[in-house]
Structure 1
Amino acid sequence: MTVARSSRQTAAERGGATVCLLAIGLVFVLVGMFGAALGAARCARHQARNAADFGALAGAGRVLDGVEGACARAAELVAANGGRMTGCRIDGLDLIVTARVRVEPLPGLTRDATATSRAGPARDTDG
């Protein structure tokens, strides 16, 4: 009678390791997806910063041409760096550019990374 009882216990416990292994695998997949989403968002933020920086630097050389000329040049460089210019204004001799980069960190989830940059002539800070 103990032999029959022992075989029933063994049959009831079969497959337990498979379920645990599947659960651990699912956790690894979810953690990997979360890491990939964070990496994509971080790359988009860097791309937006680069686009804004290059746009501001390029447009700052044309500030004396007026807002249209400076912002047109800035928009060219922002677009060349994978961004979309959402703002451009002149403050004295400085040009302030805002760039946006769209990112899809997870399927079906779309976000925008935005960065603003200022460029202009060097100033004497000892003054």
Structure 2
Amino acid sequence: MAGSGERDRGAATIFVLAVGLAFVAAGLAMASVGTARVGRHQAHSAADLGALAGAAEAIYGQPAACTRAERFVSANGGEMTLCVVDGLEIVVHVQVEVRPMPGLTRHAEAAARAGPVYITIE
């Protein structure tokens, strides 16, 4: 007759495998969150730099300002989805493709505005 120790044989192996799988899943989840955050920061940087570059050309009109903004956004890994020039102000919307996990694609979005600061003296 087999003792109770014989029935538990191999249980520790299954337990260690389950714990290891939990650590791998947690690591993948944290890596996905980190990738998403990096994508968000990349989108913000591309939008900020594109808006600043476009604001320098805003005096020449929307086509010149948006063309320059687009060059800077693209150079920083983004895709410009909207560019609006109002006077000397420019608003740039940017989208960056993020792959948090293999086979999963998301988009991080950001917007930035640049232009002169108007001070009213009363």
Which region of structure 1 is more displaced relative to structure 2, 116-125 or 95-104?
116-125
Aligned mates of 1:20, 1:124 — CA distance in 2: 67
The answer to whether the aligner puts 1:103 opposite 2:91 as a matched pair is no
- Aligned twin of 2:9: 14
- Aligned twin of 2:71: 76
The answer to whether the aligner puts 1:28 opposite 2:18 as a matched pair is no
Identity %: 49
Higher alpha-carbon Rg: 1
- Aligned twin of 1:93: 88
Q: Give the count of matched residue pairs.
A: 122
- What SS does the aligned partner of 2:77 have? coil
Match for residue 47 of structure 1 among 42, 65, 69: 42
Shift of 1:126: 5.6
- Structure 1 segments of 4+ aligned residues over 2 angstroms from their partners: none
Which structure 1 residue ranges, 5 or more long, are not aligned? Answer: none
Amino acid at match of 1:31: A
When the two chains are superposed, the root-mean-square deviation of aligned CA atoms in Å is 1.2
Shift of 1:125: 5.7
